Amino acid sequence: MTLEVLDVSFDDVRSLLRSGYGREGGSIRDVSGEVATVCRVEVAQQVLAVKVLAASGQDGLIFRWQTAAMDHLRNRGIPVPGVLVDADGELLHASTVSGRPVLVQVSEWIQDPPLKDISDIDDDLLREVGGLVARVSVGLQDYELPPSEATHPWELRRSAQSIDESMPLLGPDSAKIAGEALRRFEGLLVPLLPELPRSVVHHDLHDSNLLIGTTGDARRGVTGVLDFGDMVYGYRVAELAVAGAYAARNVSDAPAALGEVVSGWTSVLPLTEAETRAVLPAAISRLAVNAAVWEARSNGTRAGYASTRMDGAHQALEQLLQVNNDDFARNLAKRALAPR
């Protein structure tokens, strides 16, 4: 699945809302996206998120599969924005913009800030993140398989390929860190891949896609799970590795933060022995792919988005690369057995 970058004007967004949903868009603000046009739109007394994606054929089938997963998880108590149906009762609206086929997704806008904007991330919040991510994993265990192969550069199994492809465009310091992360992937993670459980995974529960606020039980936790555009059938541990890696880059002690996210996960869903050994190299691999891919794309049409997506990645990587995987896995196993 190779999605093309789509930039749609505000006038086009208003026209799509009018023709597909019978709604008149008011104030519109652009929200950075990797390939789609994503906007915050005020409609009467409601605020909506509008996502417009250039997708047809198999890509369109995958996007529909991903959108249906939002309803699937919402019905299982996961805080996913509600998706509005179009005038024909469909979760996605098919249309054209300047002759190009597009799919439109309209959902509720959740006002709470993303994890990356939280200044006081503590251990309790990190464990809440881990627990919620595990619940997402449980909720997707019985979800249908993709209608065709869904893959992307961020997928865990493609880490080596994504880093290698970015290497020629990296500066010396970045290339050195990426090279060390690549050695960890090949030496520590690749041998474990045949043993790792597989499932449908969101695969992008990073610090911009988890919103933080007050939950129904009056605790601070995750109040929104966003952006299902990277969903695949893959390694279950990738769900935990992504969330833990990106949470870790927002605090001063990245290894400790990763450990807290894992503790939250295991309070809901136990890890296998292979997954316990895979968490650290998988988190390192994801941060390395993040840093390498976005540095390589830093001169493209999404340059501003690329810059924000790299924030803190190198610092967290440098810390995580200092950690011995045997010691880290042993500590995780002990914590999983400790009374809670």
Average pLDDT of the segment spanning 257-263: 98
In the numeric block, which tokens belong to residue 188?
Answer: 């520590």
Q: Is 2 left (phi over 0), alpha (psi -120 to 50) or beta?
A: beta
pLDDT of residue 336: 79
DSSP at 117: G
pLDDT tens per residue across span 63-77? 999 999 999 999 999
Q: Is the pLDDT of residue 304 over 70?
A: no
- Please give the share of the chain, as a percent, with pLDDT higher than 70: 92
The predicted model gives 317-333 an average pLDDT of 97
10-108 to CATH, choices 3.40.50.2300, 3.30.830.10, 3.30.200.20, 3.50.50.60: 3.30.200.20
Q: Can you read off the two tokens belonging to residue 61?
A: 């089938």
pLDDT over threshold 80, residue 272? yes
- Residue-wise pLDDT tens digits, 76-94: 999 999 999 999 999 999 9
Over residues 42-62, mean pLDDT: 88
134-170 pLDDT per residue, tens: 999 999 999 999 998 888 888 999 999 999 999 999 8
- Domain 115-337: assigned CATH number: 3.90.1200.10
List, for residues 193-236, the tens digit of each pLDDT value: 999 999 999 999 999 999 999 998 888 999 999 999 999 999 99
Question: Which pLDDT does position 7 carry in this prediction?
Answer: 84
Q: Where are the domains of the chain?
A: 10-108, 115-337
Mean pLDDT of the chain: 92
- pLDDT value, residue 108: 97
- Helical spans, DSSP H, in the chain: 10-21, 58-74, 123-140, 159-166, 172-184, 237-248, 254-266, 273-296, 303-309, 313-320, 325-337
Which are the contacts of 224, defined by CB distance < 8 A and separation ≥ 6?
A: 79, 80, 81, 110, 112, 210, 211, 213
Max CA distance (Å), the chain: 60
Of 149, 124, 334, the C-alpha closest to 247 is 124
Asked if pLDDT for residue 45 goes beyond 60, the answer is yes
